[in-house]
Amino acid sequence: MLLRWTVDAVAAGKLLLLPLTSAALWHFFAPHDALNPFMPIFLISNRLPDGKYAKSWFDLAFVAYYVVFFSWLRQLLVVSVGKRVAVHLGVRGKGKVVRFGEQTYAFVYYSAASLWGLHVMRQLPTWWYNTSAFWTDYPHWAMLPHLKAYYLVQAAYWVQQVLVLLLRLERPRKDHNELVAHHCVTIWLISWSYLMNVTLIGQAVYLSMDVPEVFFSFSKLLNYLSMDRAKIVSLAIFTYVWTYFRHYLNILILWSVYAEYNLVPPSARHWSPSAGTYLPDWMQGFIFTPMAALQLLNMFWYALVLRILVRALLTAQATDERSDDEDEGEGDDEGEDREN
């Protein structure tokens, strides 16, 4: 019952309304000079005099709120919208209908996250992967409002994705173990980058991961709609986008960690929580290692992508090798149960 909100859009919606209602009541009935304690639950907090934002303990409540929000949104798009659209468009088989809903959610989320990420990076000195700016003005503890909101909302999305795996809200794929490893590394990178004030490099990694997912989920939707020619063209575009964003740009970031770490100002090359600096020399390896692990996982998936692309070009068949048979009766019923 405690986790009903993870699978029930109505229960999640009720939780989402609690802080909103409480904030409204406080606004109308509390003294006007009293700070509203409910606002930081759904709005970023700790505004500085210059209009930027610093970290706050309220950030944990903010992330928790949006974990519930993404659970609500996922149920809405996967169960209520995605399934109906799938059936209307002629998708057959319970498993495929469920997967269509999941990819609808992925397409909506990653499209929005990519556009938001581009908007945020456009305001930063790191625009278009100007890697030296990751380090030169460290520490980056004062964040633009869009950057802080973007970072924490992304964190909430990935925490919710971990819940999806742990609670088995989606039928496990053949690469389940790799996916678990990916999510663990991602949560780790999000946490330390935010705590250690290296959010500029974190934002660049976010964007490089999100954009390819837009094209991947779109290709999957075309696959479920049996649009063979369109899905092969989409797959080719996706492969190019994946190559550029998840390998070229990510390796560029890795190179920056290796070769440009010395651009960190000497005054910030020590561990001093009171000053917001956490980048002594030994932290270089601490940053490089998990990012390299993420790149290795991406290489694993890249090999599968290339295999699918070659097969598609030679045989006009484009099938995701990570997927189990989505038309099997037992698996379909199981997937159906998890969404209801």
What pLDDT was estimated at residue 328? 47
Return all residues near 122 (Cβ < 8 A) that are at least 6 apart. none
Q: What is the pLDDT of residues 215-227, one digit of tens each?
A: 999 999 999 998 9
Domain annotation covers residue 201: yes
Domain count, the chain: 1
Torsion sign (Cα): 94, 80, 18, 190: positive
Burial 194-218 (b: 16+ CB within 10 A, else e): bebbbbbbbbbbbbbbbbbbbbbbb
How much is the pLDDT for 170? Answer: 85
Cα dihedral value 327, 329, 331, 337, nearest 10: 110
In a domain, 333, yes or no: no
pLDDT of residue 177: 86
Give the residue ranges of the chain where pLDDT is below 70: 1, 316-340
The answer to whether residue 269 sits within a structural domain is yes
Has residue 338 been placed in a domain? no
In a domain, 283, yes or no: yes
- pLDDT for residue 210: 98
CA distance 23 to 29: 10
Tokens coding 252: 């560029």
Q: pLDDT tens digits for 71-84?
A: 999 999 998 898 89
Q: What predicted TM-score, i.e. pTM, was given to this entire model?
A: 0.91
For residue 169, the model assigns a pLDDT of 87
37 domain-assigned: no
Provide the domain limits for residue 68: 57-323
Is 155 among the domain residues? yes
